[in-house]
Amino acid sequence: MNLQIKTTIPKFQQAFERAQEVLDNPMFWEAIESEPKFEHTKVSPREIAKLLKETNHLITIIDWKPLGLQAQIRYRKTNALTESKDVIKMNVLKDYREIIDIAGTIIHEGVHAIDQAHPYLNFGHKGNKEKGNKNTAPYCIGNLAIRILKGTYGLNNP
Ligand SMILES: [Zn+2]
């Protein structure tokens, strides 16, 4: 996963650095590979880890502000949007979140970008409800990143 960031928000820059730190941590890759399976996909965690490591096109993270009241209502729960394999749009209205949580969002969206780079595969989530999200590759891998950064991975927590 080859990420770069173009942001004016220091917190997003710091979150990007934490996300890079996770990508350089062997524990992160072992954690993905040791998951038994992800929901809503036929691709195994081991294969997904390999795709995340080896898919090397440049993904650019940019600032994004939903414009107008309607968009702000529509995207009020949206931390970021990834509509192509090349660009991750970070919602600047969500910059109050913890740096580690924003780093988790960057990893989550990175999984979407790599998914989109392989149209014949599919390892996203279904909509944005609990049922369609649970144990999917983007959510599970984003959460692993957060737990590793917080130092809680491997401790007795779900
Ligand atoms: Zn997502």
CATH number, domain containing residue 59? 3.40.390
Tokens 């737990």, residue located: 147
For residue 65, the CA-to-ligand 1 centroid distance in Å is 18
Answer whether residue 155 is part of any domain. Answer: no
DSSP one-letter string for 59-104: EEEEEE---HHHHHHHTTT-SEE--SSSEEEEEGGGTTS-HHHHHH
* Other C-beta atoms lying within 10 Å of the C-beta of residue 146: 21
For the segment 88-115, the average pLDDT, to the nearest whole number, is 98
pLDDT band at 156 (very low <50, low <70, confident <90, very high): low
Q: Can you give the pTM of this predicted structure? A: 0.95
For residue 138, the CA-to-ligand 1 centroid distance in Å is 6
Answer whether residue 157 is part of any domain. Answer: no
Q: Regarding predicted confidence, which is higher, 131 or 102?
A: 102
For residue 110, the CA-to-ligand 1 centroid distance in Å is 9
* Alpha carbon distances (Å) from 20 to 30, 91, 106, 140, 152: 16, 19, 10, 17, 18
For residue 151, the CA-to-ligand 1 centroid distance in Å is 23
Query: Quick check: 155 pLDDT over 70?
Result: yes
Domain that includes residue 103, residue range: 2-150
Question: What average pLDDT is seen over the chain?
Answer: 95
Answer whether residue 112 is part of any domain. Answer: yes
| Strand residue runs (E) in the chain | 2-6, 58-64, 80-81, 87-91
For residue 145, the CA-to-ligand 1 centroid distance in Å is 15
For the segment 32-38, the average pLDDT, to the nearest whole number, is 97
Beta bridge partners of 63: 90
For residue 125, the CA-to-ligand 1 centroid distance in Å is 6
Count of domains for the chain:
1
Query: Quick check: 130 pLDDT over 80?
Result: no
pLDDT of res. 132 = 77
pLDDT band at 119 (very low <50, low <70, confident <90, very high): very high
For residue 126, the CA-to-ligand 1 centroid distance in Å is 9
Answer whether residue 158 is part of any domain. Answer: no
Residue 109 corresponds to which tokens in the numbers above?
A: 């969206």
